[in-house]
Amino acid sequence: MREINVEEITKTVEKLCIESNYYLPPDVKKALEDALDKEESPLGKEILSDILKNQEIARKKDVPICQDTGLTVIFLELGQEVRLVGGDLNQAIDEGVRRGYKNGYLRKSAVDDPFIERKNTGDNTPAIVHTKIVPGDKIKIILAPKGGGSENMSALGMLKPSDGIKGIKKFVLDTVEKAGSNPCPPIIVGIGIGGTIEKTTLIAKQALLRKVGEHNPNPKVAEFEKELLEEINKLGIGPQGFGGRTTALAVNIETFPAHIASMPVAINIQCHVARHQEAII
């Protein structure tokens, strides 16, 4: 057994909170640069150029790319040969979030008691933590701050197996069209297909962690990702919804076996500030 003190986790979470909010991943930056080259709308080009300028300012000045520094979503892969010492794992994670959002001058966007008082918790806790036990003696932490504007435009559909590919396509296009300018396009569309209600939404969120430009290893699923991206970009919504060719940068699909009676589909929409950073302890 390898012993890891939870203080290590706190420090790593703090660092990831700050870095993910200041530095846009290079694959997303490249996708925006490619979109700028291809965009036909003059106003759309100006917007994409502003978006690229913005991430450059954030990187150079060490400030948040977007003021919505999100709820803190964490995917934790815990090696089964690790023995955690020094305290409670979940408290250690929240302490990392608390320090990261304070020391990084990030906005605290979490409210307690979500439908009555809606009082700000003051430190962006609690984090939303998904833990998976895996072989090995390491801990992998993927941290993805998630903004409210794009999350609000996400959707879940308990589709019938007979709805088929056509039904999924309609559900995705309707959801993106209805979202319009709200989720800050160009967007990344994470789609989960299969599993149960919670599994399908979880894999939709995990789909957002994939690098822009990479496809699902199943060639048929990859083909469907490309087809959906093309269809979405025919909608005309464009950068910020001002009209144009770049409505989405990527469509990422993850699948999971489903019940014989079910075909759940979750669509998790991500804005162009597609933040995530990871570390291995």
Partner 1 sequence: MAKIIYTPLTSEVINDLRAGDRVLLNGIIYTGRDAAHKRLAELIEKGQKLPMDIKDQVIYYVGPCPAKPGQVIGSAGPTTSGRMDAYAPLLMDHGLRGMIGKGLRSQEVVDSIIKNKAVYFAAVGGAGALLAEAIKEAEVIAFPDLGAEAIYKLRVENFPVTVIIDSKGNDLYKSGKEKYKII
Residue ranges binding partner 1 (CB under 8 A)? 40-41, 43, 46-47, 50-51, 53-55, 57-58, 61, 63-69, 105-109, 118, 120, 122, 148-149, 152, 180-182, 184, 234-238, 240-245, 271-273
The residue length of the chain stands at 281
Nearest to 147 by CA among 173, 174, 182: 182
DSSP state of 27: H
What's the closest the beta carbon of residue 29 comes to partner 1, in angstroms?
13
What's the closest the beta carbon of residue 66 comes to partner 1, in angstroms?
5
Q: Which is nearer to partner 1, 26 or 161 (CB)?
A: 26
199-203: long-range contacts (C-beta < 8 A, 24 or more apart)?
199/256, 199/264, 200/156, 200/256, 200/264, 200/265, 200/266, 201/156, 201/266, 201/268, 202/130, 203/254, 203/255, 203/256, 203/266
What's the closest the beta carbon of residue 120 comes to partner 1, in angstroms?
6
What's the closest the beta carbon of residue 30 comes to partner 1, in angstroms?
17
Instruction: Please compute Rg for the chain using Cα positions.
Output: 19
Q: Which is nearer to partner 1, 148 or 164 (CB)?
A: 148
What's the closest the beta carbon of residue 140 comes to partner 1, in angstroms?
27
230-233: long-range contacts (C-beta < 8 A, 24 or more apart)?
231/169, 231/173, 232/172, 232/173, 232/176, 232/189
Q: C-alpha distances in angstroms, 212 versus 32, 41, 203, 208? A: 10, 22, 16, 9
Q: Which is nearer to partner 1, 6 or 17 (CB)?
A: 17
Q: Which is nearer to partner 1, 107 or 138 (CB)?
A: 107
Q: Which is nearer to partner 1, 96 or 241 (CB)?
A: 241
What's the closest the beta carbon of residue 170 comes to partner 1, in angstroms?
16
Q: Which is nearer to partner 1, 264 or 276 (CB)?
A: 276
Q: Which is nearer to partner 1, 58 or 266 (CB)?
A: 58
Nearest to 211 by CA among 247, 250, 269, 176: 250
Greatest Cα pair distance in the chain: 59
What's the closest the beta carbon of residue 188 comes to partner 1, in angstroms?
12
Token pair recorded at residue 204: 């939709």
